[in-house]
A and B are shown apart, each in its own frame.
Chain A
């Protein structure tokens, strides 16, 4: 688009108008309003219908323009001066700038501004009146909590930055915005605390964002894939959340938040492995239960990763490891099953993945019918018919349920992918195969970095002091320092404080 729009605005209203119509292809949502004030002043207002606040336009801009004294003020002046008078003495709006560049003019027009032009001058006035339909602040859908704030980000960039500012009222909370996407011209903002965040990190984030050259950014996922350190990995190396409190907490730890206009999901970089097992709620509940819950999440992660593979390995290669009574019971269930355990596991896992994907896509009012078919037909009927052993149904269910314990969806997706890989290895080589798979996964994990930060820290490289808020969650008075891995300028979060009560 930039290539087709060049040069300056013309001083002739008609010329500008024609050019604009040519450019936008006579789009019907382009509104032009012609005004004549007094004898000699011709004005034109351009805006895109739907992107601006109509009410405000009428009550404020048009009202003040058509007031009697305006025409008197403008009567004797030369056209260039008229713009200045309009800016300083007539229009009752805060967000005003003068635009002379044609490309800028088009961009502003399409971003929800009202453009005002005066006959005889090559400057235009941009009046910021954005006002499109908005979902508003509602409860976050992806990471719900029992205790904690119930507000979530929305699609509006400005709302989102305001939500963060409301949590961190510090002059050092800096916000920088850039446009990315040749066609979409999406606003992308980064937010960080300038006295805490590592300067090199901020530079690196900006460098990576600036090097994105694509035509469209429709969601933060685009950005994530462009700026992540390594593409070939199932693990997410950039955190995302639609919770302002989670993002604010990240910024306070010295991370950089990347907000993208048009999506409630805000990115946080750098990110380490353990942060995917932390929920916002961990910090609002008592420390003991939070620590326990974190252990349970790790356990659930291992279950969802290993349960089917382990079952396949044990029942087809290492029967001696199962207690006698259990092995007899398992053997009894398998009596009529016509498939090898490996195929059985693969089939059930696939069925579950299909059901799950269907569940996401299904219209709400047929959802129930599908869930009945899913549970009854696939679960009970398959067992009753003897296609599947009931132990396998139990394994698949516990695997599925465990995958939802992980607070961030990105990590459970990684576990789902690796699970299939491990089942295949278990089917080939039993526990030995699983061990090989674990080696590969661990090697891969320790090789990952997120904006230069080792992905597995504080576990590898091992930093004992950072364990206080990674696998454990110590009570707040003991969380004196920020995580070291972010290499913050200021490590201390609080002084040794006197605690209340004693």
Chain B
């Protein structure tokens, strides 16, 4: 009897396995049935949103079909939908395209300034909720223009504008510290955290967007229309409140320990410039309570190189190097101070996350601070700056050859 039961089980188990096949294939999508959306643009429309999708045309990118010259025709097509909700645009997509949109490869999300000023919180839900996109793409704000205009522009070198926007932000952030590279995950996290506000880099269209959408734009050595990053947008909660310039951005990046490389200059005794570049920089942030009040201690350690000497300075003494280091330290501190003070005066928004640091150290102290000072805590928060700069190398020549130039 038991052996018969065993036999019955042995027969039924493989049948259960077969039921797995019922679920099979439901998600199957061939590569040539998909429209890869590389960039998504969100703008404010009168009634809802204006959603722009930049979709790659694979055959024009591949070298295979076009004899190695990099294809013909435009590399991307831009679709535009005016819809009440963002998700609706994905459903409308097939009315004008043969392929279904695939969000798994979004590189950048561009938000129009107008929409950013009104608040983006409820808009981003659909992208965060969808299981297709990976959250590692960058978010940016179209400055003084719409996201649609930004996504229309064709770019040389990187034939895919979305890739250009992604790589350019990635590199500029690392090499100059004049921008901030913020992924959607990070942006949403900053929205959620106590005592921290998000920032996004702004992207500008230089020239006429309509002309930029033509193929002729990339057939010139100096394209008529260009995309470039300019300023950083400061948010209060999910609403854009204003822009900060390059210098404040560098200071901001120093404070938030986001500087990898940064270049700065100051004048020497004779008034000519010396340029020093930070190669690696690390900022440590400590919260200490002095008399029950939270104090922020920022300490920057930087390894630098001398990159350019315009005057006739002699760099072959240690004393000279030491004085350069001191000047650089003073400049770094000034940058951070300017950034903190400038931003708190102008916007009174804690984009540095000081509040969050205090909260992490002591949630009670943060609660008390908020009760005492409300949103204005940043203006009176005592912050102590410290910088330590080491100049590692001064390049392949010691002294400038300026002195030795023949009269």
Q: Which A residues are closer than 8 A to B by beta carbons?
A: 315-317, 319-320, 324-325, 327-335, 337, 340-341, 390, 427-430, 433, 436
Contact = CB atoms under 8 A, between A and B. Distances in A.
Nearest to A436: B20
Nearest to B105: A324
A248 to B, nearest CB: 44
B382 interface: no
23 contacts: A315-B31, A319-B105, A324-B36, A324-B105, A324-B107, A328-B58, A328-B62, A328-B160, A331-B31, A331-B56, A332-B59, A332-B62, A332-B64, A333-B64, A334-B30, A334-B31, A335-B65, A341-B30, A341-B31, A428-B21, A429-B23, A430-B27, A430-B28
A335 B25 CA distance: 21
B32 A328 contact: no
Contacts of A328: 36, 56, 58, 61-62, 160
B34 interface: yes
B25 A320 contact: no
Interface string B100-136: 0010110100000000000000000000000011100
Nearest to B99: A331
Contact of B28 (A316, A327, A335, A337): A316
A316 B30 contact: yes
Contacts of B21: 428-429
B29 interface: yes
B163 interface: yes
B64 A429 contact: no
A476 to B, nearest CB: 48
A341 B30 CA distance: 7
Contact of B27 (A317, A332, A337): A317
B24 A429 contact: yes
B38 interface: yes
Contacts of A327: 31, 36, 105
Interface of B: 20-21, 23-25, 27-32, 34, 36, 38, 56, 58-59, 61-62, 64-65, 102, 104-105, 107, 132-134, 160, 163
A332 B29 contact: no
Contacts of A433: 24
Contact of B163 (A324, A329, A335, A427): A324
Q: List the 10 shortest-distance A-B pairs measured between CB atoms, nearest first.
A: A332-B62, A320-B104, A332-B58, A428-B24, A331-B58, A331-B31, A334-B32, A334-B31, A324-B105, A335-B59
A347 B25 CA distance: 19
Contacts of A335: 32, 58-59, 62, 65
Contacts of A430: 27-28
B5 to A, nearest CB: 22
Contact of A429 (B20, B38, B65, B104): B20
Contacts of B25: 427-429
Contacts of B36: 324, 327-328, 331
A430 B104 CA distance: 16
B62 A329 contact: yes
Given A328-B62, A329-B58, A332-B62, 8 more contacts: A317-B29, A319-B105, A325-B163, A327-B31, A331-B32, A333-B62, A334-B30, A390-B64
Contacts of A340: 28, 30
B29 A316 contact: yes
Contacts of B30: 315-316, 334, 340-341
> Which residue, of A327, A332, A334, A390, has the highest number of chain B Cβ atoms within 10 A?
A332
> Which residue, of B24, B32, B105, has the highest number of chain A Cβ atoms within 10 A?
B32
A123 B23 CA distance: 78
Contacts of B56: 328, 331
Contacts of A320: 104-105, 132-134
A330 B20 CA distance: 29
B76 to A, nearest CB: 10
Nearest to B131: A320
> Which residue, of A328, A335, A427, A429, has the highest number of chain B Cβ atoms within 10 A?
A328
> Which residue, of B20, B31, B105, B163, has the highest number of chain A Cβ atoms within 10 A?
B31
Contact of B65 (A319, A332, A427, A428): A332
Given A320-B105, A320-B132, A429-B23, A337 B32 contact: yes
A336 to B, nearest CB: 8
Contact of A319 (B34, B160, B163): B34
Contact of B102 (A315, A316, A319): A319
Contacts of B65: 332, 335
Nearest to B102: A319
Contacts of A324: 36, 38, 105, 107, 163
A315 B104 CA distance: 12
A427 B102 CA distance: 20
Contacts of B163: 324-325
Nearest to B107: A324
A317 B25 CA distance: 9
Contacts of B133: 320
A352 B231 CA distance: 58
Nearest to A390: B64
A317 B31 CA distance: 9
A335 B66 CA distance: 13
Nearest to B23: A429
Contact of B34 (A329, A331, A429, A436): A331
Contacts of B34: 319, 331
Contacts of B32: 331, 334-335, 337
B59 to A, nearest CB: 5
Nearest to B104: A320
A286 B104 CA distance: 48
A311 to B, nearest CB: 11
Contacts of A315: 30-31
A341 B29 CA distance: 10
B57 to A, nearest CB: 9
Nearest to A330: B31
A430 B132 CA distance: 16
Contacts of B105: 319-320, 324, 327
A236 B32 CA distance: 41
B25 to A, nearest CB: 6
